[in-house]
Structure 1
Amino acid sequence: MRNLQNLCLTVAILFAFISVSSGQDRITGKPFATRSEVIGEKGMVATSQPLATQIGIDVLKNGGTAVDAAIAANAALGLMEPTGSGIGGDLFAIVWDSQTKNLYGINGSGRSPRLLTIDYFLSNRMKKIPAYGPLAVSVPGCVDAWFELHEKFGKLSMEEILQPAITYAEEGFPVTELISHYWKLSLKHFSEYPNVMSTFSVDGEAPEKGDIFRNPNLAGTYRLIAEEGRDAFYNGPIAETIVNFIQNQGGFLSKEDFSLHKSEWVDPLPVDYRGYTLWELPPNGQGIIAQIMLNILESYEFSPEDFGTPRHLHLVTEAKKLAFEDRAKFIADPDFANIPLKQLLSDEYAAKRRALIDTAKAGAYSPRAENHSETVYLTVADQWGNMVSLIQSNYRGMGSGMVPPGLGFMIQNRGELFSLKPGDANEYAPGKRPFHTIIPAFVTKDDKPWLSFGVMGGDFQPQGHVQILMNLIDFKMNLQEAGDAPRFAHSGGSSPTGIREKSTGEIHAEKGIPYQTIRALMQMGHKVTYELGIYGGFQGIMYDHERGIYIGASESRKDGQAAGY
């Protein structure tokens, strides 16, 4: 037995050494950086698909604003990365407006069907809302958010903005490597549902890397939206098609649900961290969880040499456990729940929570987190100094499996995230917005824009926001290094869906975390596993006020690209 243990230890150490040492040496920067930052003066776009990035750059060069380019890129991603996005889903964004020198937030999340009550689920003995099928669907909020953003901050016409995606949908585009991988995984869930394979397969199979994929139905939908506006989606033929299809499948969405839908302009919430201000959107999203974590962590000092140490991972993990307890208890639609935002973000509350951390031992409090990686995040900056941080998703990859005929997109399954436990803040109710995982972020310094950024990955997102900012601020990395640096995520416990359990949970560490750290964490009582790089993907744009330049980065875990001019 001892020989077997020694062999396992040797293999683990060798594996960790190889993972850290692999790749080509760089003359400058950290050894884990995949490339240098991208630098431009006039504008910058960073998305998870290079063709979408180029569309954004073209829009900027044609005189479009950051919001114009963001909508164009998002439309392209709905075609090119349907594994994580599409107009069947929701959207959140934070916009820095250079004229007013203010941040504006938009909550573009849709509401649950007004004809569906919690009694339906309870009478059918359901403990949770099914992940797939018609019962998980809510009103798609993306298109309305596009038009709200465009009306306030746009310059070009919607026809000009959507035309690049329409052209690619009609003529086709080559599928990229990682998107092809997720496409194959997604279609395995949906072969039984109508219209999925005819819309998203090539000769009955998911497209391989390099295959040319076309979606003429989506081109037609985009064209109708461009010509007739948001009402084509919410009060016209698109809404009628969706409603008829969902009801035929046994769901409850109605024309009233679509006609009453509207996005909400909200004020982003600030939290200071070592002289920088992180702005997140208020609930029903989980952005404040990143802020709660940072408030807890700010009293601990970190030097650049602390990155990847047991102390680093332990303190972040313990702060996460505490913050996710608050997430499970409080995060819900504020129209239905009383959320004590001022208390949760106060220094006094952070001190009380921090006092619960044992710096030498893993704590046994832990709301459950599942690290779904299928979302798209993009960020754009323009020649006038405007910046947008935008995130958009269907949830669980492609969504619910519900593809209305002739439209070219799948409807989201965000309704799965409601709790069916009576009394929970996130308890299901008709006309309610579900708890949301997707969160854009923005950072200012001295009341000036410093960083627009986000990460993908469901429940990893607030953890990722914290790690990116610590990499930049505490560990003195540049923007590309901050995204490429080895990551870790914690899962286990209870969640806003009403499921509860108490445990230390589990830390999932990417291979670049040293084995010495893994071993020390285990000795502190943590359960730790090595994982592949599944916590992607980060995009970020930083503004250098002294030089008047943008700095962009897109990490290597996905197919993305940052480009500037």
Structure 2
Amino acid sequence: MRNFYQAGRSVTYGVNGAVATSSTHSSQAALSILKSGGNAMDAAIAACAIQCVVDPMQTGIGGDCFALVAVGGGGDIEGLNGSGKAPAALSADYLMSKGINKLDPESAHSVTIPGAIVAWTRLHEKYGSMDFADLLAPAIDYAENGFPVTQRTSLDWEMGVKRLLKNKAASDLYLKGGKAPAAGSIWRLPKLAATLKAVAKKGRSAFYEGEIAEQMAETLRAVGGVHEAADFAATHADFVTPIHSEYEGHHVHQIPPNGQGITALIMLNILKRYDHDGLDPNGAMRLHLEAEAARLAYLARNKYVADPTKADVPIDMLLSDEFAEHLCGYIEVGKAGDPTGANALERHRDTVYISVVDKDRNAVSFINSLFQGFGSGIACAKTGVIFQNRGYGFVVDPDHPNCIAPGKRPMHTIIPGMVTKGGKAAISYGVMGGGYQPVGHAHVLTNIWNFGMDVQEAIDSPRAFYDAGILEVEEGIPASVRAELVGMGYELADTTMPLGGGQMIAIDPETGVLSAGSESRKDGCAIAY
């Protein structure tokens, strides 16, 4: 229970439906759809489409999408991988012939074909109940008639100005006089509205075939890309069987690689081998154990995670108890470990996340992203689409499983989460924040299961992120705890911005009451009825 003498948010409770997004615009629209008879998938798609307009640095139709679905609140979780692929003409040999041995996040070579729209249409075909055009109508209205820019969005927009100024179409679409809009100002995106109207009318084909696809391909080729209209036409989203691991009697489900969800599961497999009783949830020992689990899990991610249709990804080994025990052998409690991992593996930043549960207990964990702020910064003037830079997740090393190749998906950071217990959906959740997401997943879930927090407290709790030898800590980590962590051998750094952002909806198995929490680090909210 929160301390009501301190600033904060209460848990949002409901019985008929709940939504949690990082945008008040999206949350309101999603709840309206639930109240009008739409289901959780209808609400999630509508909410995401709105955020592709009102949070253009965080997400867009030029990005990718993943989802986990629990139909009727059951325990058989279904997944969808809507991540795009490298164009057919792009290979490591091609890049190396151009003297490129590392991808540039602002280069056309970092732009994989957007997978969001085909993901939405496939999800709608299988799970949706309302007309697809009606789901996009609120987003079209915001794009055409304008939306008020919220506070956190205005800050993130300002941080993207430098990137936007490098591309005329992007700066024309998203800046005025070279400046980002202030909080409270109205912004319109008429070109994007026209593209969304076409998609609302004709669905997938409007985006991936014909004039819009040709215009997008032409835009990318004009800045050095090798994209063709045929690459767009070949784009598809795939239903997949989630992977999972067990923690405190719960099953935690993730999309399998090429996503990094397996990293969160490796972390949990490590953490469950340590006793958390009596630890301060914001104390040095808890953060130390989390940092060490992250250190080793991310080393495993970087070595093994890739597109499993193009490389051998040893999923069973990575999720095995033997591998977790092996990694624990490289943790010395009370001491920061070697950032390189030594011989530990020799044997073996910006997004929107949406959670919705409806009256029939259909639960949807839905995530959509451009990767970095405003993605590649490359925009198509005619369509209003700004392109993701997911290709930056590739490496240019022919011997690495995640090496760039024609028609290959990159290692992907966005990961929706779903928890089941006793054969029923228990928690639909996600934590945004690029590479931070696996740590965020492990952090919020262990906040609940090991430290007794409710869903809102679990999201609000101060965060730390061990990354490449540096332990980044938020302002909420006390000075005394920081001193202890330094004494353990960690190099600390203050976060430049709050770490990630999360949404969570829990389903009480006895009463059916929905408990929803939304990220205080963002502009959104949880709403239920």
Q: Please give the range of the TM-score, normalised by the shorter of the 2 chains.
A: over 0.9
Please, which of 509, 513, 520 is the counterpart of residue 549 of structure 1? 513
> How big is the shift at 1:406?
2.1
Does 1:150 find its partner at 2:108? Answer: no
Query: Contact 1:144–1:262 (CA<8 Å) still a contact in 2?
Result: yes
Task: Give the aligned partner of residue 188 of structure 1.
Answer: 162
Letter matched to residue 46 of structure 2: A
Query: Contact 1:511–1:532 (CA<8 Å) still a contact in 2?
Result: no
Task: Give the aligned partner of residue 344 of structure 2.
Answer: none
Task: Give the aligned partner of residue 478 of structure 2.
Answer: 514
Query: What is the count of residue pairs matched by the alignment?
Result: 522
Task: Give the aligned partner of residue 19 of structure 1.
Answer: none
Give TM-score, length-normalised by structure 2: 0.96
* Whole-angstrom distance in 1 between the partners of 2:58 and 2:6: 26
Task: Give the aligned partner of residue 354 of structure 2.
Answer: 378
SS at match of 1:459: helix
Does 1:527 find its partner at 2:491? Answer: yes
* Whole-angstrom distance in 2 between the partners of 1:41 and 1:91: 28
Please, which of 356, 370, 379 is the counterpart of residue 394 of structure 1? 370
Letter matched to residue 477 of structure 2: I
Task: Give the aligned partner of residue 355 of structure 1.
Answer: 329
* Whole-angstrom distance in 2 between the partners of 1:535 and 1:350: 26
Query: Contact 1:283–1:334 (CA<8 Å) still a contact in 2?
Result: yes
SS at match of 2:354: strand
Task: Give the aligned partner of residue 199 of structure 2.
Answer: 225
Give TM-score, length-normalised by structure 1: 0.90
Does 1:466 find its partner at 2:430? Answer: no
Distance of aligned partners of 1:100 and 1:361 in 2 relative to their CA distance in 1, 3 Å threshold: closer
Does 1:260 find its partner at 2:237? Answer: no
> How big is the shift at 1:125?
2.0
> How big is the shift at 1:366?
4.1
Letter matched to residue 454 of structure 2: N
* Whole-angstrom distance in 2 between the partners of 1:338 and 1:32: 50
Query: Contact 1:33–1:484 (CA<8 Å) still a contact in 2?
Result: no
Task: Give the aligned partner of residue 438 of structure 1.
Answer: 414
Q: What does 1:29-48 correspond to in 2, within 5 Å? A: 29=3, 34-48=8-22
Please, which of 114, 121, 136 is the counterpart of residue 110 of structure 2? 136
Letter matched to residue 183 of structure 1: W
> How big is the shift at 1:514?
2.2
* Whole-angstrom distance in 1 between the partners of 2:436 and 2:7: 21
* Whole-angstrom distance in 1 between the partners of 2:207 and 2:274: 50
Query: Contact 1:32–1:481 (CA<8 Å) still a contact in 2?
Result: no
Task: Give the aligned partner of residue 91 of structure 1.
Answer: 65
Does 1:72 find its partner at 2:46? Answer: yes
* Whole-angstrom distance in 2 between the partners of 1:152 and 1:347: 35
Query: Contact 1:403–1:410 (CA<8 Å) still a contact in 2?
Result: yes
* Whole-angstrom distance in 2 between the partners of 1:460 and 1:444: 23
* Whole-angstrom distance in 2 between the partners of 1:212 and 1:93: 31
Distance of aligned partners of 1:236 and 1:32 in 2 relative to their CA distance in 1, 3 Å threshold: farther
Cα distance per residue 1:55-79 (max 9 Å; x no partner)? 1111111211111110100000000
SS at match of 1:170: helix
Does 1:447 find its partner at 2:423? Answer: yes
> How big is the shift at 1:301?
1.3
Query: Contact 1:293–1:320 (CA<8 Å) still a contact in 2?
Result: yes
Task: Give the aligned partner of residue 525 of structure 2.
Answer: 561
Task: Give the aligned partner of residue 315 of structure 2.
Answer: 341
> How big is the shift at 1:447?
1.5
Query: Contact 1:110–1:139 (CA<8 Å) still a contact in 2?
Result: yes
* Whole-angstrom distance in 1 between the partners of 2:73 and 2:504: 22
SS at match of 1:455: strand
Q: What does 1:167-246 correspond to in 2, within 5 Å? A: 167-246=141-220
* Whole-angstrom distance in 1 between the partners of 2:281 and 2:522: 23
* Whole-angstrom distance in 2 between the partners of 1:444 and 1:228: 36
* Whole-angstrom distance in 1 between the partners of 2:2 and 2:434: 33
Instruction: Give the % identical residues.
Output: 41
Task: Give the aligned partner of residue 88 of structure 2.
Answer: 114
Please, which of 359, 379, 402 is the counterpart of residue 403 of structure 1? 379
Query: Contact 1:460–1:535 (CA<8 Å) still a contact in 2?
Result: yes
Higher mean alpha-carbon deviation, 329-338 vs 400-409, is at 400-409
Higher mean alpha-carbon deviation, 130-139 vs 116-125, is at 116-125
Letter matched to residue 244 of structure 1: E
Query: Contact 1:183–1:206 (CA<8 Å) still a contact in 2?
Result: yes
SS at match of 2:168: coil
Cα distance per residue 1:279-308 (max 9 Å; x no partner)? 011000100111001111111111364312
Task: Give the aligned partner of residue 426 of structure 1.
Answer: 402
SS at match of 2:34: helix
> How big is the shift at 1:216?
1.1
Does 1:293 find its partner at 2:267? Answer: yes
* Whole-angstrom distance in 2 between the partners of 1:415 and 1:30: 45
Distance of aligned partners of 1:99 and 1:388 in 2 relative to their CA distance in 1, 3 Å threshold: closer
Letter matched to residue 481 of structure 2: T
> How big is the shift at 1:531?
3.0
* Whole-angstrom distance in 2 between the partners of 1:62 and 1:307: 41
Query: Contact 1:479–1:553 (CA<8 Å) still a contact in 2?
Result: yes
SS at match of 2:517: strand
Letter matched to residue 527 of structure 1: E
Please, which of 310, 318, 324 is the counterpart of residue 284 of structure 2? 310
* Whole-angstrom distance in 1 between the partners of 2:122 and 2:6: 40
* Whole-angstrom distance in 2 between the partners of 1:559 and 1:28: 20
Please, which of 109, 133, 136 is the counterpart of residue 162 of structure 1? 136
